[in-house]
Amino acid sequence: MESNNNSLRQQIADMRQSLFDEEMLDRHYRTVEELSDKDHPNFAEEVMTMYFRDSTKLIAIFENALENAPFNFIVLDKYLHQLKGSSASIGAKKVWEKINEMRDCLRERDIEGTRTVLQQLKKEHDNLRGRIEPYFRMLRQVGPSEIAQRPK
């Protein structure tokens, strides 16, 4: 039982490290993790759940707004600003980078470019969700002591 748990902890540590190594997450995610404590052991998971719920909605709204002219560039940029803010706060590095690319396209009034980068953004967003959700599922299996042992 003990060795099963150790093997699970190692798997979790490796999953976590790979998210940083592949630059899907950056150091800002470490701040989110640091805010979990014994009274709120699932804080990081709660924040990430909130993030994916809001960002998925915002991406859908943005994609819809990009369907038909006339385009309101101020409103489009506001959506991206919101998405950028949340993504930066939780350390979603690759997602944040794509948002910046989209903002550059919008500044150039390049709608086709924006649409192309939007598809890349959606891919990065889905990739991150696809990696972080199983990570949290496994974290819940080992319980709150994993938080105390998490490497800095």
Residues that bind other proteins (CB under 8 A): 28, 31-32, 34-35, 37, 40, 43, 46-47, 50-51, 54, 81-82, 84-86, 88-91, 152
Rounded to a whole number of angstroms, the minimum distance from the CB of residue 50 to other proteins is 6
Rounded to a whole number of angstroms, the minimum distance from the CB of residue 98 to other proteins is 16
SS3 35: coil
Which is closer to other proteins, CB of 22 or CB of 46?
A: 46
Which is closer to other proteins, CB of 5 or CB of 97?
A: 97
SS3 25: strand
Which is closer to other proteins, CB of 14 or CB of 54?
A: 54
- From the list 72, 70, 98, the residue with the least C-alpha distance to 83 is 98
Rounded to whole angstroms, the Cα distance separating 129 from 136 reads: 11
User: Is the backbone of residue 54 left (phi > 0), alpha (psi -120 to 50) or beta?
Assistant: alpha
Rounded to a whole number of angstroms, the minimum distance from the CB of residue 151 to other proteins is 13
Provide the Cα torsion 58, 63, 66, 68; round to 10°: -120
For residue 92, give the DSSP letter.
B
Rounded to a whole number of angstroms, the minimum distance from the CB of residue 27 to other proteins is 8
Which is closer to other proteins, CB of 4 or CB of 152?
A: 152
